Amino acid sequence: MKQYSFLLLLVFVGTTKLLSQVVEIPMDIEPGGHTFIKVKVNNLDRELDFVFDTGATADLIDKKIADEIGIKGNYQQKIDGASGVESYDIALNQTLHLTNRVKFDNTNLVLKDLSNLNNVFGKHLDGIMGYSILSKYITKIDYENNKLILYNKLRNVDLDGFTKIPFSFNRGIPIPQFNINYTLTNGESYTGSILFDSGAGLTLLVNTPFVTENGIRNKVDKIIRNESQGLGSSSVSEIIRIKSLTIGEYTFEDLAISLSNSKGGVTAMPEFMGIMGAKIIKRFTIVLDYDKKELYLKPNKLYSEQFKFPLTGIKLKKDGKDILVAGVDKSTPAYKKGLRIGDKILRINDENRTLSKYNELLTKKGSRVTIEYINQKGQKKIISLVLRDLL
């Protein structure tokens, strides 16, 4: 599974109406932990699929969808994201509806072409919401029961069994920030502040300054290169194996994390150790109180699942109706057998499937997969791989 970060550092707050004390919003959760909710825009009956993302400080809609429903930008603004600064069109005074009982008036929508994310996601993405919800309500993210639950008061939430973690909003970034600890396989431990970003499809992404200053790359046995897709562009990070990661009283053993190479954006900020993403976050039921700056965690049924490690070093993406190789690590058997970026996948295991199905086949540890593809010379090739841990 690729990494994704929808983190946007721009804050728009509209007005909102909540007609009852508690509202439950169904969520559709994809394998990487990204959560989708249904959203209606303005007075249209059409339901759109938005990612609910704690790392999104602005509401965003796909530019193609905006054109279809008649939303136009009023002005442009530069926005700092996970990988750097980009310019976006902003549409003023829009209305977003979550179910028939919750709506956000006077919302300023960022218009952005999301085709690059849709090409690698395996599920259509129409937009992103986060801070506008979190800043107004006590928000419970229930991954176990596929629900997003909004409350007026913290006292209305049953917090039995939860652990409280205070957080801050430093650097003017309204994304929860608190310290965690991780330990390398050589026994060295590091503690630092992370951004709590459910829109990042990873465990932990360690920021470039932290990686460089602590010489992390020189302290691990193996590294796998990984291409990730953000809102504006792709970037290359590296995946390593670590001994453990600790959040408050909770410790995860034997997992993979990523090392950033970014020279700009949030992942290049020295103030933060990194970004914690959905592959950790989805293992908890979560309550967020932005007024008190308190996060509550309670392990759910996903908590004890083993973490997945890179098995092929292959990254795939959609290109129209085709599925192409988006990345392949040079140290892997797939690369050594001839697979390259840009090759067109015809089938895996004799089946012509979807991107999500191919990604699923490539994560079954111990299995053998046969990949039929056309290389960039137009030649049809077949390779066979046994899926084993690469780290």
CATH of 168-283, one of 2.40.70.10, 2.60.40.3680, 3.30.470.10, 3.10.180.10: 2.40.70.10
Are 52 and 130 within 8 A, CB to CB?
Answer: yes
Question: What letters, b where the CB count within 10 A reaches 16 and e where it falls short, cover 356-373?
Answer: eebbebbbeeeeebebbb
What's the mean per-residue pLDDT of the chain?
88
Bridge-partner residues for 287, per DSSP? 140, 296
Strands 250-259 and 189-196: unpaired
Q: Is the pLDDT of residue 227 over 50?
A: yes
In the prediction, which pLDDT does 53 show? 96
- CA-to-CA distance for 28 and 92, rounded, in angstroms? 28
In the prediction, which pLDDT does 357 show? 86
Strands 314-319 and 234-247: unpaired
Q: Is the pLDDT of residue 293 over 90?
A: yes
What digits encode the pLDDT tens for the residues 269-278? 999 999 999 9
Q: Is the pLDDT of residue 248 over 90?
A: yes
What digits encode the pLDDT tens for the residues 58-77? 999 999 999 999 999 999 88
Poorest-confidence range of 120-134, 146-160, 176-190?
Answer: 120-134
- CA-to-CA distance for 56 and 71, rounded, in angstroms? 20
DSSP symbol at 58: S
Q: Is the pLDDT of residue 90 over 50?
A: yes
**Collapsing DSSP states into helix, strand and coil, what is residue 229?**
strand
Are 16 and 23 within 8 A, CB to CB?
Answer: no
Average pLDDT estimate for 195-209: 95
In the prediction, which pLDDT does 374 show? 94
- CA-to-CA distance for 232 and 272, rounded, in angstroms? 22
Closest CA to 203 of 222, 170, 226: 226
Single-letter code of the amino acid located at 141:
I
**Confidence bin at 3 (pLDDT 50/70/90):** very low
DSSP symbol at 209: H
What digits encode the pLDDT tens for the residues 131-148? 999 999 999 999 999 999
The second-level CATH assignment, the architecture, of 314-387 is Roll (2.30)
- CA-to-CA distance for 193 and 41, rounded, in angstroms? 36
What digits encode the pLDDT tens for the residues 12-23? 555 554 433 479
Residue with tokens 């070093």: 313
**Confidence bin at 120 (pLDDT 50/70/90):** low
- CA-to-CA distance for 335 and 338, rounded, in angstroms? 5
Q: What sign does the dihedral 137-142-145-147 (CA atoms) show?
A: positive
Average pLDDT estimate for 311-318: 89
**Confidence bin at 2 (pLDDT 50/70/90):** very low
**Confidence bin at 282 (pLDDT 50/70/90):** very high
Poorest-confidence range of 182-186, 230-234, 274-278, 320-324?
Answer: 230-234
Q: What percent of the chain has pLDDT over 70?
A: 89
What digits encode the pLDDT tens for the residues 345-365? 999 997 777 888 888 899 899
HSE, CB side, 13 Å, CA atoms: give it for residue 238: 20
Q: Is the pLDDT of residue 9 over 60?
A: no
CATH class of segment(s) 21-154: mainly beta
SS3 content of the chain, % helix, strand, coil (to 5): 15, 45, 40
Q: Is the pLDDT of residue 222 over 90?
A: yes
What pTM did the predictor assign? 0.87
Residue ranges per domain, the chain? 21-154, 168-283, 314-387
Average pLDDT estimate for 228-245: 74
In the prediction, which pLDDT does 269 show? 94
Asked if 21-154 and 168-283 have one fold, the answer is yes
- CA-to-CA distance for 149 and 208, rounded, in angstroms? 35
- CA-to-CA distance for 252 and 290, rounded, in angstroms? 26
Poorest-confidence range of 228-232, 253-257, 282-286?
Answer: 228-232
**Confidence bin at 83 (pLDDT 50/70/90):** low
Residue with tokens 């300054």: 209
